[in-house]
Amino acid sequence: MSVALLIVSHSADVARGTADMARQMAGADLSIAWTGGNPDGGLGTSLAAITEQLEAVWREEGVAILVDVGGAEMNSEMAIEQFDKAKAKKIRICQAPLVEGAIMAAAEAASGGGLDQVCRAAEEFSHA
């Protein structure tokens, strides 16, 4: 199994589209979850939805989370805190642009890279 990805955006359309694009680039076998928008269907993020998707996609190899802006990162951090320490250590928020980072992370995960490598691949794009 490979590292999984979770895409978190303030927009459900952006989150879904980013996940679809990353999946198409890296292959259908890669585990990619997404969540976006607030519970009313507007812009925003939902701690409950992020936690639910993290639980669904979590795996021993780890989960790389890619976020768009402030609230998505904050809610993702709070979701990670809800996991026990052993699981939480295997979940990382990548400091990378959402779409480009997700594509790079997906490619690295699909090629068997570990959590550190997956996040580094996503983050290197932002320094290019």
Rounded Cα distance between 102 and 15, Å, is: 10
Catalytic site residue from 2, 4, 10, 23: 10
Closest CA to 119 of 109, 16, 83, 20: 109
User: Is there a catalytic annotation at residue 10?
Assistant: yes
Sequence-ordered strand ranges (E) for the chain: 4-9, 32-36, 63-67, 91-94
Catalytic (active-site) positions: 10
